[in-house]
Structure 1
Amino acid sequence: MTDTPKTAMILAAGLGQRMRPITDSLPKPLIEVRGRAMLDTILDRLEEAGIEKVVVNLHYLGEMIESHLKGRGGPQIVFSKEEDLLETGGGVTKALPLLGAGPFLVLNGDVCWLDGLTPALQRLGAAWNEEEMDALLLLHPTCSAFGYEGLGDYFMDPAGRLRRRLERQIAPFIYAGIQILHPRLFEGAPAGSFSLNKLYDKAQEAERLWGLRHDGEWYHVGTPAELCAVEDALHHLAAFSGQR
Structure 2
Amino acid sequence: MSTEHFPKRAMILAAGLGKRMRPVTATTPKPLVEVAGRALIDYGLERLEAAGVEEAVVNVHYLADLVEVHLTRRPSPKIVISDERAALLDTGGGIAKALPHLGEQPFFLLNADTFWIEGARPNLIRLAEAWDPDRMDGLLMLAPTVTSVGYDGSGDFDLATDGHIIRRQERLVAPFAYAGAAILAPRMFENAPDGAFSLNTLFDRAISDGRMYGVRMDGLWLHVGTPRAIKDAEAAIAESAA
1:128-178 CA distances to partner (integer Å, 9 max, x unpaired)? Answer: 000000000000111111111111000111010011011111111110000
Question: Residues of 2 paired with 1:77 and 1:15: CA distance?
Answer: 21
What is the CA distance between 1:76 and its match in structure 2?
Answer: 0.7
What is the CA distance between 1:115 and its match in structure 2?
Answer: 1.2
Q: Normalised by the size of structure 1, how large is the TM-score?
A: 0.95
When the two structures are aligned, how many residues end up with a matched partner?
A: 238
Given that residues 57 and 79 in structure 2 are in contact (C-alpha distance below 8 angstroms), is that contact kept between their aligned partners in structure 1? yes
Given that residues 7 and 52 in structure 2 are in contact (C-alpha distance below 8 angstroms), is that contact kept between their aligned partners in structure 1? no
Which of residues 13, 19, 22 in structure 2 aligns to 1:20? 22
Question: Residues of 1 paired with 2:240 and 2:176: CA distance?
Answer: 26
Say yes or no: does 1:113 pair with 2:138.
no
Given that residues 3 and 103 in structure 1 are in contact (C-alpha distance below 8 angstroms), is that contact kept between their aligned partners in structure 2? no
Given that residues 3 and 102 in structure 1 are in contact (C-alpha distance below 8 angstroms), is that contact kept between their aligned partners in structure 2? no
Question: Residues of 1 paired with 2:118 and 2:230: CA distance?
Answer: 19
Hey, what does 2:82 align to over in structure 1?
80
- Aligned-pair identity in percent equals 53
1:42-68 CA distances to partner (integer Å, 9 max, x unpaired)? Answer: 111111111010000000001101001
Question: Residues of 2 paired with 1:216 and 1:237: CA distance?
Answer: 10
Question: Residues of 1 paired with 2:33 and 2:201: CA distance?
Answer: 29
Hey, what does 1:202 align to over in structure 2?
205
Hey, what does 1:10 align to over in structure 2?
12
Hey, what does 2:56 align to over in structure 1?
54
Matched residue SS, 1:55: strand
Which of residues 165, 169, 172 in structure 2 aligns to 1:169? 172
Give 2:130's aligned amino acid. A
Q: Structure 1, unaligned stretches of length 5 or more?
A: 239-244
1:11-55 CA distances to partner (integer Å, 9 max, x unpaired)? Answer: 000000111111111000001111110111111111111101000
| Pairing 1:1-244 to 2, within 5 Å after superposition | 3-82=5-84, 83-236=86-239
Give 1:61's aligned amino acid. L
Give 1:194's aligned amino acid. F
Q: Are residues 158 and 237 of structure 1, via their aligned partners in 2, closer, same or farther at CA, if it must alter by over 3 Å?
A: closer
Bigger RCO (CA 8 Å, 6+ sep)? 1
Give 1:207's aligned amino acid. G
1:80-112 CA distances to partner (integer Å, 9 max, x unpaired)? Answer: 001211110000000000001000011000011
Given that residues 116 and 215 in structure 1 are in contact (C-alpha distance below 8 angstroms), is that contact kept between their aligned partners in structure 2? yes
Given that residues 3 and 130 in structure 1 are in contact (C-alpha distance below 8 angstroms), is that contact kept between their aligned partners in structure 2? no
Between stretches 223-232 and 55-64, larger displacement belongs to 223-232
When the two chains are superposed, the root-mean-square deviation of aligned CA atoms in Å is 1.4
Given that residues 8 and 105 in structure 1 are in contact (C-alpha distance below 8 angstroms), is that contact kept between their aligned partners in structure 2? yes
Question: Residues of 2 paired with 1:65 and 1:232: CA distance?
Answer: 26
Q: Structure 2, unaligned stretches of length 5 or more?
A: none
What is the CA distance between 1:230 and its match in structure 2?
Answer: 1.4
1:174-203 CA distances to partner (integer Å, 9 max, x unpaired)? Answer: 100000000000000001111110000000
Hey, what does 1:241 align to over in structure 2?
none
